[in-house]
Chain A
Amino acid sequence: MCSPLSFLLSVLPLVATVSLWGENAGRDHSFFESKIRPVLATKCYECHSAEASKMKGGLRLDHIDLILKGGDTGPALVIAKPAESLILEAIGYDEPDFQMPPKEKLSQQVVDDFSQWISEGAIWPDEPVPTLLSSPQRNSFNLEKRKSAHWCWQPVTKPLVPKEGAFTQNPIDYFIGKRLIEAGLLPALATDKRTWLRRVTFDLTGFPPTLEEIEHFISDESGNAYKTAVDRLLDSDHFGEKWARHWMDLVRYAETCGHEFDYPLENPHEYRDYLIRAFNADLPYDQFLMEHVAGDLIDEPRRHRTEKFNESVIGTGFWYFHEAVHAPTDPKQDNADRMESQLDVFGKTFLGLTIGCARCHDHKFDAISEKDYYSLAAFMQGSNRQEYPLDLGGKREEISNEIEALCKSAFSSLSSKQEGFSTMQPPSKYWKGALQLTHSNYVDTGTDANFTGEVLVDFENGFGDWKPHGKAFQKPKLKGSTDTGSVTGYSGVGWASSLSKDPKKSLGSLRSPKIKVEHRFLNFSVGGGQFNEVGVELWADGNRLLVARGENSDELVPKSWDLLDYHLGEVEIRIVDQATGRWGHVHADQFEFSPFPVTPKPDKPVHTVFVVESYARSNGLVVQTLRAWCMHFIELDNLQSLAQRIERAKSSHNGLVHAEQNFIQNSQSFATFTSSEIPQGWKITGKAFKPRGHRLISFAGSNLFPSRNILSSHVLGDRRVGNLRSPHFKIEHDQILVRAKAKKGFMRVVIDHYHMGKHSGLLFGGTVIKEANSEDNFQWFSLSPKKYKGHWAYLEFVDRGTDAYLEIDQVRFANSGIGRSPDSRFSLLLGDEKIEASNLPEFLDGFLKKSFAKIHAGKFSGEEYEFLNYLYSEGLIPFGNQQTIPERLRQAEAIDSKTPRERYTLAMGEGSPFQGNVYVRGSPHKLGESVVGRNLTALGGQPGTRLDLANQLISGDNPLVSRVMANRIWLQFFGRGIVATPDDFGPMGQEPSHPELLDWLAHDFRENDWSVKNLIRKIVLSKTYRQSSLLNPSCDKEKVSFADPQNIFLHKMPIRRLQAEAIRDSILSFSGRIDRKLFGPSIPIYKTAFMTGRGGKKNGPLDGAGRRSIYGSVYRNFLSPFMLAFDQPAPFGTKGKRSVSNVPAQSLALMNDPFVISQCKMMGENVFQAKKLKSESMGNLFEMITGKPPSQAAQEKLLAFLETQTKFHGSLTKEVWADLAHVLINSKGFLFLN
Chain B
Amino acid sequence: MLQSCAMGFGGLAFSALSNDSLASPLAPRRPHFTPRAKNVIFLYMDGGPSHVDIFDYKPALEKYNGKDPREVIGKLAPTQFDNIGKILKSPWEFKQRGQSGHWVSDLFPHIAQDDVIDEISMVKSMTSNFSEHTSANYFLHTGSGFQGRPSMGAWFGYGLGTENQNLPGFVVLNGGLIPPGGLDCFGSGFLPASYQGSVFLPQNEPVANIKPKEKTAELQKNKLSLLADLDKSSLEEMNFDRQVEAAIQNYETAYQMQTSVPELVDLTGESEVVKKSYGMDSDFKNTRTFGMQCLLARRLVQRGVRFIELTCPGGNGDRWDQHGGLVDGHGKNCKSVDQPIAALIRDLRKLGMLDDTLVVWTGEFGRTPFAQGSNGRDHNPFGFTTWFAGGGIKPGVTVGATDEFGYKAVENRYEIHDLHATMLHLLGIEHTESTFRFGGRDMRLTEVFGHLIKEIL
Contacts and interface: CB of A to CB of B under 8 A. Distances in A.
B242 to A, nearest CB: 9
A150 to B, nearest CB: 12
Interface in B201-239: 201, 203, 205, 207-213, 218-220, 222-223, 226-227, 229-231, 233-235, 237-239
B222 A262 contact: no
A330 B227 CA distance: 56
A1208 B219 contact: yes
Contacts of A1057: 243, 247
Given A96-B77, A1148-B257, A1194-B230, A1130 B187 contact: yes
A1147 B213 contact: no
B253 interface: yes
A1117 B255 CA distance: 29
Contacts of A1224: 230
B219 A1219 contact: yes
Interface in A776-817: 787
B246 interface: yes
B71 interface: no
A1029 B238 contact: yes
B350 interface: no
Interface in A240-281: 258-260, 262
A1194 B233 contact: yes
A1223 B227 contact: yes
Given A93-B410, A330-B78, A1089 B209 contact: no
Given A354-B441, A1148-B257, A1130 B250 contact: no
A323 B382 contact: no
B16 to A, nearest CB: 18
B133 interface: yes
Contact of B199 (A1090, A1131, A1134): A1090
B411 interface: yes
A988 interface: yes
Nearest to B400: A104
Interface stretch (B49-57, B115-123, B176-184): B176-184
B223 A1219 contact: yes
Contacts of B348: none
A1143 B243 contact: no
Contacts of A1116: 147, 182, 184
B222 A1117 contact: no
B132 A1149 contact: no
Contact of A1229 (B176, B189, B230, B382): B230
A1223 B208 contact: no
Interface stretch (A644-652, A743-751, A1196-1204): A1196-1204
A1090 B182 contact: no
Contact of A1130 (B148, B235, B239, B255): B148
B198 to A, nearest CB: 8
Contacts of A102: 413
A34 B441 CA distance: 45
Interface stretch (B79-87, B265-273, B329-337): B79-87
A1153 B210 CA distance: 9
Nearest to B81: A762
B287 interface: no
B244 interface: yes
B192 A1139 contact: yes
B239 A1029 contact: yes
B135 A259 contact: yes
A927 to B, nearest CB: 20
Contacts of A366: 440
Contacts of B207: 1148
A449 interface: no
Contacts of A341: 146
Nearest to A763: B82
Contacts of A988: 437, 440-441
B92 interface: no
A1091 B148 CA distance: 17
Contact of A981 (B246, B251, B440): B440
A1060 B299 CA distance: 34
B183 A260 contact: no
Given A1117-B181, A1132-B148, A1228-B231, A1223 B78 contact: no
Contacts of A1231: 247
Interface in A64-109: 93-94, 96, 99, 102-105
A762 B227 contact: no
B382 A1093 contact: no
Contacts of A1119: 183-184
Contacts of A738: none
A698 B399 CA distance: 74
The size bracket of the interface on B is 35 or more
Interface string B160-197: 00000000100000101111111110010110111010
A1089 B207 CA distance: 10
B184 A1142 contact: no
Given A96-B382, A104-B411, A1125-B193, A259 B181 contact: yes
A1152 B209 contact: yes
A605 interface: no
B327 interface: no
B131 interface: yes
A1143 B193 contact: yes
B146 A1132 contact: yes
B179 A1141 contact: no
B263 interface: no
Interface in B320-369: none
Nearest to A325: B132
B93 interface: no
A1099 interface: no
Given A262-B182, A1117-B181, A1055 B238 contact: yes
Contacts of A763: 78, 80, 82
Contact of B177 (A325, A787, A1093): A1093
A1146 B227 contact: no
Interface string B35-52: 000000000000000000
Contacts of A1149: 208-209
A870 interface: no
Contacts of B408: 93, 105
Interface string A1064-1098: 00000000000000000000000011111111000
A1055 B244 contact: yes
A1148 B210 contact: yes
B14 to A, nearest CB: 14
Given A325-B134, A1194-B230, A1148 B181 contact: no
Contacts of B184: 258, 1116-1117, 1119, 1130
A1198 B182 contact: no
Interface string A292-326: 00000000000000000000000000000001011
A611 B413 CA distance: 91
A1199 to B, nearest CB: 11
- 9 closest pairs, A vs B, by CB? A1132-B148, A1117-B182, A1147-B254, A1141-B193, A1093-B178, A988-B440, A984-B440, A259-B134, A105-B410
Given A989-B440, A1055-B238, A1148-B257, 5 more contacts: A323-B146, A325-B135, A981-B440, A988-B440, A1197-B226
Interface of A: 93-94, 96, 99, 102-105, 258-260, 262, 323, 325-330, 337, 341, 348, 354, 357, 365-366, 762-763, 787, 981, 983-984, 986, 988-989, 1029-1031, 1055, 1057, 1088-1095, 1116-1119, 1121, 1124-1125, 1127, 1130-1134, 1139-1149, 1151-1154, 1157, 1191, 1193-1194, 1197-1198, 1201, 1204-1205, 1208, 1219, 1222-1224, 1226-1229, 1231-1232, 1234
28 contacts: A93-B408, A99-B413, A104-B400, A260-B132, A330-B78, A763-B80, A988-B440, A1089-B208, A1090-B199, A1091-B182, A1093-B180, A1116-B184, A1130-B187, A1131-B148, A1132-B148, A1132-B189, A1139-B190, A1139-B192, A1142-B247, A1144-B250, A1144-B254, A1144-B257, A1191-B233, A1201-B222, A1219-B223, A1226-B251, A1227-B234, A1229-B231
